[in-house]
Structure 1
Amino acid sequence: MKASELEIGKKYYTTGYTGTYAVTVLEILDERIALVKTKNGNPFKKSIRWLFENEEAVKNAGRAWEHAKRRSRRK
């Protein structure tokens, strides 16, 4: 997904260590990062690469996300 395709205030889905999360986009910080918020949580930055419009796409991307996180910690 590209930053130009995101809508502020719309609900998207993202992946995390414990599963799938529904998040709302609060602000687009740049072409790669968005400020998002879960229903009851604090706002946090999330890569636009890991925001999806439907839950099924997130389930398929979960393993790739975990692999990318492990790879980034090694650097």
Structure 2
Amino acid sequence: MACLVAKSLNIAKATKQQTRDIESIVETIQSIVVIAEETAAGTEQIASSAESLSEGMEKYSSKSKNVLGIVNQLTQKVERFKLS
């Protein structure tokens, strides 16, 4: 009978340890989920910033082309007034 009680106590002790281990695993997985969500949010912010930067560069390129056209026109007009 004492052997049976000892075995039961060992089983109960092992079950408690397994419960603690499972709780620890759940906490670790929850931490991983939080990190994954934060990483996803950061990735979205980077993508948005990159898109805004790309749009800004397109506008800059367009304006640079316009300025170049104006410079070319001005150069042609100044050429008319050069003294030979």
Q: TM-score range by the shorter chain?
A: under 0.3
- Max radius of gyration: which structure? 2
Which has the larger share of strand?
Answer: 1
TM-score normalised by length of structure 1 = 0.24
Which has the larger share of helix?
Answer: 2
TM-score normalised by length of structure 2 = 0.22
